[in-house]
Amino acid sequence: QVQLVQSGGGGVQPGRSLRLSCVASGFTFSTYGMHWVRQAPGKGLEWVAFIWYDGSRKDYADSVTGRFIVSRDNSKNTLYLQLNSLRAEDTAVYYCAGDPPNSGFAFASWGQGAPVTVSS
């Protein structure tokens, strides 16, 4: 079955870095666009970043542009999010989500979430 398994969350001090991973199985990862979405405590969903199926295009939310980097390794069925220059307001649960081809940006599958806490 379709599965996205995340790892890499945790606590970090402001200004430091963290890398999140998302390993896909049960579908052809190399054909899916992939997104990162986050949810701050008690808040709604916030889209963070998107990477095309082949990595040729990447888009970011204004709140993370220049600090976060999305990447993928299709040979390892793995999506990454590098979080740099972290701020307290980046504290959230981070989800990876799969966007099937020709679905019009529908997040059909989700990881279990990785909590990131930025605090001194």
Partner 1 sequence: SVLTQPPSVSAAPGQKVTISCSGSSSNIGNNYVSWYQQLPGIAPKLLISENNKRPSGIPDRFSGSKSGTSATLDITGLQTGDEADYYCGTWDSSLIAYVFGIGTKVTVL
Q: Which residues bind partner 1 (CB under 8 A)?
A: 35, 37, 44-47, 50, 59, 61-62, 95, 103-113
Helix (H, G, I), strand (E, B) or coil at 42: coil
CB atoms within 10 A of CB 16: 12
Nearer to partner 1, 83 or 96 (CB): 96
Please tell me the distance from the alpha carbon of residue 33 to that of residue 96, in angstroms, as a whole number: 11
Minimum CB distance to partner 1, residue 7 (Å)? 15
Asked whether the beta carbons of 93 and 71 are under 8 A apart, the reply is: no
Minimum CB distance to partner 1, residue 107 (Å)? 6
Nearer to partner 1, 21 or 109 (CB): 109
Nearer to partner 1, 85 or 105 (CB): 105
